[in-house]
Amino acid sequence: MGMNDLEDFRESVGESGPVAVVGGRTHWTVGGNPTDDTRLVSAPVGIDSFDPSEMTVSVKAGTTLKDLNEELSRYRQEVCLEGSSETTVGGALMIGTDGIRRNLIGSVRETLLQAEYVDAKGKLIKAGGPTVKNVTGYDLCRLLVGSLGTLGLVGRVILRTRPQSEKSVWLQGGLQPEEARHVCFQPSSLLWNGKETFIQLEGYGIDVDSEVLKLKNLGYEEMGTKCPISIPRFRHKFVNGMCLDGGIVDVYSSILYKSTEAAEPQHSNEVVRLGNKVRTMFDPSGRLNPGRDPYRAGP
């Protein structure tokens, strides 16, 4: 599967008719299903250029995260996107949710530097810029992340990369979140299952070792490099005192991961009205991903 050319991609999107990009289909129903008459196209695939000393990578949106990370890890770098083996770069950006390592590696929103997308009129538009710092004009990249493909269909992006940590380790122990959050300087993840906390530490080996020692003195046990618990799929907003109901809390971002779907999030009318105005401006005929609504997606 897959085209390698932006121009082909633009043509496949065309100038009219309902259309959506299908990625790895792993989060296909987020924000609602596309209408039946929606034509599905794929984004082009391939890594265009990776300059490790620039810490940016130019990659086509249909590339899987797995392929991208394979290439990046040859230079001990990574991008701040997470997913399974089918996940595409475009899909991860369009869903736009942050992972449990946000505390250390930052938000998906900070990752997208430049995007080339096909707009509702079938034109190829460039948003943002290739450099790691940029305030030239309105930053449409911000708008694209998390937009579920409703504002434009993304063909190619430039992403910020980051150095992989020298060492990464998970620990499990009995401190409650309020206490656990103060023990280490900057854990990459801090999870809580209602009884115990799970802490992921990353950094230089010798720093990690001394932090591990601190935690072991508090009764923590080392659990290896893989997350010791499985994280359920659906994200709920977590508020102190809430019943976990078998879920897992990401303490730093107040997200409760559960296996049941969350209720539709609440938004103020003013915000939804403004968001919909943006959508109508970008897609007056409503042909991009009809049926999906970012305001119906979870946190």
Partner 1 sequence: MNRSRQGDQLFRELCRDIGADRVHRDGASQLLYSRDGSAFPGGIPGVVCFPETTQHVVDCIKAANRHDRSFVPRGAGTGLAGGAVPCDAPLVISTTKMNSILEVNYEKRFAWVEPGVVNLDLTKSLTGTGFHFAPDPSSQQSCTIGGNVANNSGGPHCLAYGVTNAHILAIEVVLPDGTLVELGDVDGHASGYDLRGVFVGGEGTLGIATRIAVKLTPDPPEICTLLLDFMDVADAAKTVSAIIASGIVPAAIEMMDKRIVNVVEEFVKVGYPTDAAAVLIIEVDGLPKGVKIEVERIQSISLEHGARSVRVASSDEEREQIWKGRKSAFGAVAQIQPGYYLHDTVIPRTKLVEVLEAVYEIANRYELIVMNVFHAGDGNLHPLLVFDPQVPGIMERVLAAGEEIVQVSLDAGGVLSGEHGIGLEKKRFMEKLFSEEDLAAQKLLKDAFDPDGRANPFKVLPSGASCGEVNHLNQLPDGAWV
Ligand X SMILES: Cc1cc2nc3c(=O)[nH]c(=O)nc-3n(C[C@H](O)[C@H](O)[C@H](O)COP(=O)(O)OP(=O)(O)OC[C@H]3O[C@@H](n4cnc5c(N)ncnc54)[C@H](O)[C@@H]3O)c2cc1C
Residues 6+ apart with CB under 8 A from 22: 28, 40, 41, 42
Answer yes or no whether residue 149 interacts with ligand X by CB under 6 A. Answer: yes
Burial zone of 182 (CB within 10 Å; 0-12 exposed, 13-18 middle, 19+ buried): exposed
Provide the sign of the torsion angle of the four alpha carbons 117, 4, 27, 141, taken in this order: negative
**Total residues binding ligand X (CB under 6 A):** 33
Comparing CB distances to partner 1, the nearer of 206 and 242 is 206
Answer yes or no whether residue 106 interacts with partner 1 by CB under 8 A. Answer: yes
CB of 210 to ligand X, least distance (A): 27
C-alpha span between 253 and 15 (Å, rounded): 40
Backbone phi and psi for residue 236, each to the nearest 5 degrees, phi listed first: -125, 150
Site map for ligand X, 59-88, x if CB under 6 A? --x-------------------xxxx-xxx
From the list partner 1, ligand X, none, which binds 43 (C-beta under 5 to 8 Å, kind-based)?
ligand X
Within 111-170, the residues that bind partner 1 by CB under 8 A are 119, 123-127, 129-140, 142-143, 145-147, 151, 162-163
C-alpha span between 32 and 35 (Å, rounded): 9
CB of 67 to partner 1, least distance (A): 21
Q: Which of 4, 40, 278, 285 binds partner 1 (CB under 8 A)?
A: 278
From the list ligand X, partner 1, none, which binds 225 (C-beta under 5 to 8 Å, kind-based)?
none
CB of 148 to ligand X, least distance (A): 4
Within 166-225, the residues that bind partner 1 by CB under 8 A are 178, 181, 185-186, 203-204, 206-207, 210-211
Stretch near partner 1 under the rule CB under 8 A, chosen from 32-40, 51-59, 62-70, 216-224:
51-59
C-alpha span between 247 and 234 (Å, rounded): 9
Of 63, 160, 60, 64, nearest in space to 107 by CA = 160
C-alpha span between 272 and 234 (Å, rounded): 22
Stretch near ligand X under the rule CB under 6 A, chosen from 70-78, 90-98, 179-187, 219-227:
90-98
Answer yes or no whether residue 184 interacts with ligand X by CB under 6 A. Answer: no
Comparing CB distances to partner 1, the nearer of 41 and 98 is 98
Q: Which helix (H) or strand (E) holds 179?
A: helix 177-183
**Total residues binding partner 1 (CB under 8 A):** 75
Provide the sign of the torsion angle of the four alpha carbons 50, 55, 60, 61, taken in this order: positive
Taking a C-beta distance cutoff of 8 angstroms, is the pair 79, 110 a contact? no
CB of 83 to ligand X, least distance (A): 4
CB of 231 to partner 1, least distance (A): 15
